[in-house]
Amino acid sequence: MLATNACKKDAKLDYSKVTGTTFTSNDGTMQALLQNKCGSVTCHGAGGDGAQHWKYYAEYDSLTPHFEHMYEAVVIQKEMPKAGAPQLTQEELDAFECWEQAGFSE
């Protein structure tokens, strides 16, 4: 129930699809977000500086060990994406937070 209420906090966002969000639900919002913002060659994609820390793969199972760190770095610390890389919009940050509240479900 917490995820439902928290994910409806912003009236301009349609969280009806995001509530209980999964990696591939909501038209693949989270999968696309991670691919575009984390999986690029400037970050955690093949050849990127961040690939030394962990390399982005589009498969959910390869990401599970990194969820809490990603959430902390992106939403709490706001240290990711690094300066110069494509930044997350407020809507993307909100979707990421909603996904975290839903337990990073597949």
Comparing CA positions, the residue from 48, 37, 12 lying closest to residue 96 is 37
**How many C-beta atoms surround the C-beta of residue 67 within 10 A?**
15
Query: Over the stretch 19-48, which tens digit does the pLDDT of each residue have?
Result: 445 676 655 678 888 888 888 888 888 888
Q: What is the pLDDT of residue 26?
A: 56
**Cα–Cα distance between 68 and 48 in angstroms, integer?**
21
Residues 46/55, Cβ–Cβ less than 8 Å: yes
**Cα–Cα distance between 96 and 80 in angstroms, integer?**
13
Query: Over the stretch 45-102, which tens digit does the pLDDT of each residue have?
Result: 888 888 888 888 878 888 888 889 889 999 899 999 988 888 888 888 888 887 887 7
Residue 2 pLDDT grade (very low, low, confident, very high; cuts 50, 70, 90): very low
